[in-house]
């Protein structure tokens, strides 16, 4: 009898289960992300372990689990895109683009563009607004979608990975999503919750 918990103890421990469950779920997610990173690192010659551990979580979950590569690979791709966009060199920018490139225009029409078509339509696909987004890409602003890749600005720009642990490439430019992102930013600014984007 002395070893049995009192009813008050049972009620108290039941009330404590929710925080314990949340802690356990967070631990399971962290363990899964660690497993994903280990798998990705096994495919890389010189993984950036410290950077990857501290930057693996973004909106949507763990970069390594959702995309099959490491945060440091995304950081390198993003830096290359930023530099190419700032240089004004079309060839440098096109090196970061996967082919065929899916281009969705402002009306929502989808086209798979070959290298020649991307070069011909470069100024439409990578107009001033898209170049500005590329110049300001930041890993912390990225969202991942399990098995689909990673995106910026409500899906205006999608990057995917061709091989486990590899470097991401731009595969979709979505002008329709870019317009929607700009409109959302304007509405937010009108409510006094952010800066207006032209």
Cα separation, 174 vs 152, in Å, equals 10
pLDDT (0 to 100) of residue 3 = 54
Residues of the chain whose pLDDT is less than 70? 1-31, 193-198
C-beta separation of 64 from 33 below 8 A:
yes
Cα angle 129, 77, 127 (rounded to 5 degrees) comes to: 15
Contact predicate 68/41, CB 8 Å: no
The confidence score (pLDDT) of residue 180 equals: 87
Residue 74 in contact with residue 86, Cβ under 8 Å?
Answer: no
Evaluate whether 143 touches 156 at the Cβ level (below 8 Å). Answer: no
103: closest CA among 127, 78, 69?
127
Pairwise CA distance, residues 21 & 140, whole Å: 28
Q: What is the pLDDT of residues 133-185, one digit of tens each?
A: 999 999 999 999 998 999 999 999 999 999 999 999 999 999 999 888 878 77
Residue 82, SS3 per DSSP? helix
Q: Could you give the residue ranges of the DSSP H alpha helices within the chain?
A: 7-15, 17-41, 49-55, 63-67, 71-87, 90-94, 115-120, 122-125, 128-135, 175-190
> What's residue 195's pLDDT?
54
DSSP readout, 135-176? Answer: HT--GGG-EEETTTEEEEGGGTEEEEESSTT--EEEEEEEHH
For residues 175 and 103, give the distance between their C-alpha atoms in angstroms, rounded to a whole number: 8
The whole-number pLDDT of residue 198 equals 47
């Amino acid at each position: 009898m002395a070893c049995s918990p009192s009813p008050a103890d049972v009620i108290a421990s039941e009330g404590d289960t929710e925080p314990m469950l949340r802690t356990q779920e967070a631990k399971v997610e962290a363990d899964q992300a660690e497993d994903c990173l280990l798998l990705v690192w096994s495919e890389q010659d010189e993984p950036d372990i410290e950077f990857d551990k501290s930057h693996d979580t973004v909106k949507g979950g763990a970069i390594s689990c959702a995309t099959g590569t490491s945060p440091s690979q995304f950081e390198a791709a993003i830096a290359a895109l930023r530099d190419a966009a700032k240089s004004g060199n079309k060839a440098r920018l096109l090196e970061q683009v996967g082919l065929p490139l899916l281009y969705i225009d402002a009306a929502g029409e989808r086209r798979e563009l070959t290298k020649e078509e991307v070069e011909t339509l470069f100024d439409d696909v990578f107009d001033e607004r898209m170049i500005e987004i590329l110049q300001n890409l930041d890993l912390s602003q990225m969202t991942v979608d399990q098995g689909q890749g990673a995106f910026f600005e409500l899906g205006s720009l999608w990057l995917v990975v061709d091989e486990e642990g590899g470097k991401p490439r731009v595969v979709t430019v979505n002008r329709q999503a870019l317009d929607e992102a700009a409109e959302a930013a304007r509405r937010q600014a009108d409510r006094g919750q952010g800066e207006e984007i032209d």
